[in-house]
Amino acid sequence: MSFQKKMEKFFLIKNKRSQVWSFDLVVASMIFIMGLFIFYFYVINQSPQSKNQLEEFFYEGDLSSQLILSEDEGILSGGKINQTKLDIFNDTDYDVKKTQLGISNNFYFTIKDLEVNGVLVDYVGRINDADIENLVKVTRFTVYKNKPVKFEIFIWR
């Protein structure tokens, strides 16, 4: 075989390899661009909805904690949790409590050493007993049994 034929064969194989390599590069670039497009489309469409839901949960958490820890309609008297008001709040129907608080989602709150009607309890409200889609916790500080305590309210759906 002559030198010229060997060179032609070499360049022919080299051209085929470079064509395959460039085709791989084009396909990989297309897949990458499609991935970026799908990610961008997902972020644009999902972000405002998620942000609105989160804002709604925090709003309801802040609102309900302010109303529960108020003197007029809540459980406080003289800046401290009044045990009688707490007992009455606990005895009120759950749906009535939600309506009074003006919230649409479920809630419960916890306080360390929480006692209702003479019995130690873990929470007041409706505990999340099923699968939860969203949960927000709002923490406030108050006085209960002459001690500073964390009041944690959980809003969930």
Residue 37 confidence (pLDDT) above 60? yes
Task: Say if residue 138's pLDDT is above 80.
Answer: yes
Q: Each residue of 90-109: pLDDT tens digit?
A: 999 999 998 988 888 889 99
Inter-residue contact 116 to 124 (CB < 8 Å):
yes
Q: How many CB atoms lie within 10 A of CB 68?
A: 26
Integer angstrom CA distances of residue 2 from 7, 10, 58, 72, 154: 9, 12, 82, 105, 85
Q: Point out the least confidently predicted range of 41-45, 63-67, 70-74.
A: 41-45
The answer, yes or no, to whether residue 150 has pLDDT greater than 90, is: yes
- Give the C-alpha distances (Å, rounded to integers) separating 51 from 5, 47, 56, 110, 136: 68, 6, 9, 26, 13
| CB contact burial 88-106 (16+ within 10 A = b; e otherwise) | ebbeeeeeebbeebebebb
pTM value? 0.66
What angle is formed at CA 55 by the lines to CA 112 and CA 35, rounded to 5 degrees? 120
Residue 105: predicted pLDDT: 86
What confidence score (pLDDT) does residue 156 get?
84
Confidence of residue 16 (pLDDT cuts 50, 70, 90): low
Q: Give the CA radius of gyration of the chain.
A: 32
pLDDT at 9 over 60: no
Residues 139, 110 contacting (CB under 8 angstroms): no
